[in-house]
């Protein structure tokens, strides 16, 4: 194996371990249940469309895409999440194909899908141009590429920015995921290979948690990137307390609920829809 291939293996193994940690399906259920259906609506899936979901996780978007009539392939790097997706699809009464795949090297033929989707999935692969090229390659001419991406200034964007100083340094060549929430960056990635490109802001209101502290505790327990960030601090009590304080500060400052009410947050994202 070449040095570059070995480095890539390390990066992808780390990504798999991160997203398998905790309980990501629960994070979707309790915080972002409306984004998958919103992306499916924006992509205007028609009955019989061949649909690929990239970074599909446990099917938050792929399953609604199947409900909308798509013939769906859900692909992801993390087998544990695909397995959770399989069970969720059975419970929901829809049939999908589940395929382990890297967004940077999709195992699908050129122009083989009418619609290519990704909700907060493709944005987490390290090399953005490689991913954009793959999304374009597998979409048929005239087909649709539709993504939901976190924006840097939104709540989830700021949550990642808050964790960043506590995370291990990223591997060489790794580009920040939040750049996928920046319009100029995405325009550059797709270039003139798409005939139209639209950006529409969306907000997921989160009022599942009684208090900011409950929100932080939930992420510490269930959200892979947060779990891995704490894990990387080992038993450094001072750094762990500093991360606790930084996350609680964010959760307290950004709580828009009236005094005494349940905590309330607005998670801002952008829906990117391109026509190939
Ligand atoms: C925030 S989750 C989103 C999952 C799902 N799309 C959703 O909306 O719930 C990020 C997903 O991206 C996947 N992922 C990360 N890097 C990837 C890569 N290089 N190729 C494919 N999937 C990747 C993870 O395994 C994880 O399922």
User: Is 39 part of any domain?
Assistant: yes
Residue 261 CA, ligand 1 centroid: distance in Å: 33
Of the candidates 184, 143, 207, 141, which has an alpha carbon nearest to the alpha carbon of residue 270?
184
User: Is 97 part of any domain?
Assistant: yes
Residue 77 CA, ligand 1 centroid: distance in Å: 7
CA distances in angstroms from 261 to 32, 208, 209, 217, 265, listed in the order given: 20, 12, 10, 18, 12
Tens of pLDDT, residues 39-60 = 999 999 999 999 999 999 999 9
User: Is 259 part of any domain?
Assistant: no
Residue 1 has pLDDT above 70, yes or no: no
| Domain housing 170 | 3-205+266-275
User: Is 70 part of any domain?
Assistant: yes
96: left (phi over 0), alpha (psi -120 to 50) or beta: beta
pLDDT attached to residue 10:
85
Pocket of ligand 1 from Cβ distances under 6 Å: 15, 19, 28, 36, 55-57, 60-61, 76-78, 81, 102-104, 119-121, 124-125
CATH number of the structural domain spanning residue 139: 3.40.50.150
Give percent of the chain with pLDDT exceeding 90: 93
Confidence at 7, pLDDT banded by 50, 70, 90: confident
């Amino acid at each position: 194996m070449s040095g570059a291939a070995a480095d890539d293996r390390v990066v992808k193994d780390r990504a798999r371990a991160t997203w398998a940690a905790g309980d990501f399906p629960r994070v979707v259920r309790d915080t972002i249940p409306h984004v998958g259906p919103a992306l499916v609506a924006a992509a205007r899936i028609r009955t019989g469309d061949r649909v690929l979901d990239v970074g599909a996780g446990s099917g938050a978007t792929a399953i609604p895409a199947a409900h909308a009539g798509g013939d769906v392939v859900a692909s992801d790097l993390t087998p544990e999440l695909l397995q959770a997706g399989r069970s969720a699809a059975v419970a929901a009464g829809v049939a999908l194909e589940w395929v382990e795949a890297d967004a940077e090297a999709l195992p699908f033929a050129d122009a083989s899908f009418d619609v290519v989707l990704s909700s907060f999935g493709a944005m987490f692969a390290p090399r953005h141009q490689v991913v954009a090229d793959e999304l374009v390659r597998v979409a048929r001419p005239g087909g649709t590429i539709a993504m939901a991406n976190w924006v840097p200034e939104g709540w989830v964007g700021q949550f990642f920015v808050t964790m960043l100083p506590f995370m291990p340094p990223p591997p060489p060549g790794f580009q920040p995921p939040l750049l996928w929430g920046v319009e100029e960056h995405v325009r550059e990635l797709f270039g003139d290979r798409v005939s139209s490109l639209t950006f529409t802001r969306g907000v997921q209101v989160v009022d599942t948690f009684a208090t900011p502290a409950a929100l932080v505790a939930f992420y510490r327990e269930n959200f892979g990137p947060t779990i891995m960030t704490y894990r990387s601090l080992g038993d450094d009590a001072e750094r762990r307390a500093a991360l606790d304080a930084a996350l609680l500060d964010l959760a307290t400052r950004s709580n828009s609920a009236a005094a005494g009410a349940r905590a309330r947050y607005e998670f801002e994202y952008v829906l990117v829809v391109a026509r190939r």
